[in-house]
Structure 1
Amino acid sequence: MKLIRKISFPVMPIYYAISSLRNKLYDLGLKKSTSYNMPVICVGNLSVGGTGKTPMIEYLITLLKADYKVATLSRGYKRKTKGFQLANEFSTAESIGDEPFQFYNKFKQAVLVAVDSDRRNGIEMLQKQNNPEVILLDDAFQHRKVKAGFNILLTTYANPYFKDVVLPSGNLREPRAGAKRANIIVVTKCPKELAENEKNKIIELISPMAHQHVFFSSIGYANEVVSLETKIKIDDLSNFTLVTGIANASPLVHFLNDKNLNFEHLNFKDHHEFSQEDIAVLNKKACIVTTEKDFMRLKQYESLKAKLFYLPITTVIDNNMEFNTLIKTFANS
């Protein structure tokens, strides 16, 4: 992979120029960007890979659902359907995508969950059919046909955007200057109890603009794993198989190792579609622990139900009162 990126280095200036020109055309109004007379909050990133968008969307749902009619709108990555889809009792991970399916399963009584690769059409359909009071856009920072009223940009502590370059040599979908569009920048997956002097160094490197706020978050792991029928304390687990199909499983692996648990790790690519051969391998395992996103894809297999568990996670935000106030102030606007 490193060799490919070195070889592709001459292509990087072309990608940089094209993505910069695209952004400039939107900034100047030469390409149309639609804004809305209702609160639309975008959660996204500059980088490819996992920055914690799903738990951030869930954090916002939990924060807002008691006071507003909330809808989430995602692309529905790798779904088998086309166009606008509103989640219902017949939805599956295949029909709406694993992450939206996760939102629906967790919050179906409280929020509307929709998918549409054309976010502008998705918003119009939600307004026409369901009239939500707040819309949360999942992974739409580069979807500039929609002008969200509030942008939350996520970047990981281990691989921050300000130390990266654009594709194909780096991981950035667009140049670093795109961060200027954010209202809030959250450094995610930080170590617990990150020192204030290190936070200050990171803020200095981010160099936020006057309108921008920087926050730090970490992953909060539950103390038990959950199946369709029962729960088990993490400390009571033994000799299990960890199955992950996410962008970066390292934080989860480190968490389980820190607990001195005995497990093997089957690590698949992000959004992996489990084949019959994969399921045959998993059928031979005594106990399987996975992520909630992977659980949404695997729970359909009857042979796995009795031994399949997921570990719930949450986003833990430093100075969360200030963060919450900024979000609710915008939602009230």
Structure 2
Amino acid sequence: MRGLRKILFPFAILYGLITSIRNYFFDIGLLSSKKYKLPIIVVGNLNVGGTGKSPMVEYLIRLLQDEYKLATLSRGYRRKSKGFVLAEDGVTSNELGDEPMQFYSKYKKCSVAVDADRQNGINKLQDIVNPEVIVLDDAYQHRKVKAGFYVLLTKYNDLYVDDYILPTGNLREARKGANRADVIIVTKCPTELSKLDQEEILKRIQPLKRQKVFFSSIKYDEKIFNNEKSFVLRDLKNTFTLVTGIANPRPLLGYLNSLKLKYEHIAFNDHHHFSERDIELLARKEFVITTEKDYMRLKDRLKNVMYLPIQTQFMNNNEEFDEMIFDYIKKDLQKTGL
């Protein structure tokens, strides 16, 4: 695979040139970017793949939902519906997508919607919900919307500064796209990451003076859940089946191994649509544990499945991050007179 990616390097140059020209046209105003009269926070990345966007969006929901009338807008990756969909009773993960369905299932104070056209999605949310703040999920490259605050995520063991443009690497755009960020968060760090290691990463990232870099890790819940019950994970004695449809299951495997649990692992591609054949296979297993995202697609089709929740956990200075978010929102609301 690496050899093939190297062969495709000329295409990476072409792709990089196209995305750079596009960004330049937005920067100089040749392509229009719409600004809205309400605070809009973007969570995104430069790399393709799992940098922890969903846990970060959930962190912002928990932070803001009691203070403001909040909405999230995602594209609803791999959903079977089209256009704008607002989450409501009776909606399914096929209509919303697994991650927005996860948000809706957990946070009833927050309106959840999907639309690949973010401008249309924001307009619809304003007409129907009239939120005070919107969090845009996975919209860092969606330049048609001019957000007020950009949160850029980069994974600890796959920093954007070490990556290359698609298809040679996994970057959606050139590394200098990071300059649009207000905050850069290095995600999925090992919990024992030292201050010295953090300083070395800062030197590699070389943030702008106006940018603040934070470090976060994934915190796994002590319990597994379904709609009816919960169990303490480390108390499991029998072998179970772990099912993952995520970009990188290695951190989860490491966590389960640290608990010395016995399991078999069935790995699917990210956002996998479980077929009837898949369901038949999993139904024959005695006990299935999956990720919360995958559970959204399995809960109505399997009786023997539970999920393990995760959260973003800042390694330090989470109060400073929270304050930056609140300061931005307050200033933006004052500016627009809302």
Bin of the TM-score, shorter chain as denominator length: over 0.9
Q: Give 5+ residue unaligned stretches, structure 2.
A: 332-338
1:178-193 correspondence to structure 2 within 5 Å: 178-193=177-192
| 1:316 maps to 2:313 | yes
Q: Look up the SS of the partner of 1:99 in the other structure.
A: helix
Q: Look up the SS of the partner of 1:332 in the other structure.
A: helix
Q: Distance in 2 between matches of 1:34 and 1:129?
A: 20
- How far off is 1:217 after superposition? 0.2
| 1:69 maps to 2:66 | no
Q: Which residue of 2 aligns with 1:173?
A: 172
1:62-211 correspondence to structure 2 within 5 Å: 62-108=62-108, 110-211=109-210
Equivalent pairs counted in the alignment come to: 329
State the identity %.
Answer: 54
- How far off is 1:230 after superposition? 0.8
Q: Look up the SS of the partner of 1:80 in the other structure.
A: coil
Q: Deviations over 1:205-225 (max 9, x none)?
A: 111111100000000011110
- How far off is 1:228 after superposition? 1.5
- How far off is 1:79 after superposition? 1.0
Q: Give 5+ residue unaligned stretches, structure 1.
A: none
Q: Deviations over 1:284-304 (max 9, x none)?
A: 111100000000000111xx2
Letter in 2 for 1:276: E
Letter in 2 for 1:309: M
1:201-280 correspondence to structure 2 within 5 Å: 201-237=200-236, 238-280=238-280
- How far off is 1:193 after superposition? 2.8
- How far off is 1:227 after superposition? 1.3
Question: Which stretches of structure 1, 4 residues or longer, exceed 6 Å deviation after superposition?
Answer: none
Q: Distance in 1 between matches of 2:329 and 2:310?
A: 25
- How far off is 1:3 after superposition? 2.8
Q: Deviations over 1:49-92 (max 9, x none)?
A: 00000000000000001110000000011111111110001111
Letter in 2 for 1:156: K
Q: Look up the SS of the partner of 2:231 in the other structure.
A: strand
Letter in 2 for 1:262: K
Q: Look up the SS of the partner of 1:266 in the other structure.
A: strand
Q: Distance in 2 between matches of 1:282 and 1:84?
A: 33
RMSD of aligned residue pairs (Cα, Å): 0.7
Q: Which residue of 1 aligns with 2:335?
A: none
Letter in 1 for 2:324: L
Q: Which residue of 2 aligns with 1:56?
A: 56
Q: Deviations over 1:221-243 (max 9, x none)?
A: 11110012111111122300000
- How far off is 1:6 after superposition? 1.9
Q: Deviations over 1:15-62 (max 9, x none)?
A: 111011000000011000011121000000000000000000000000
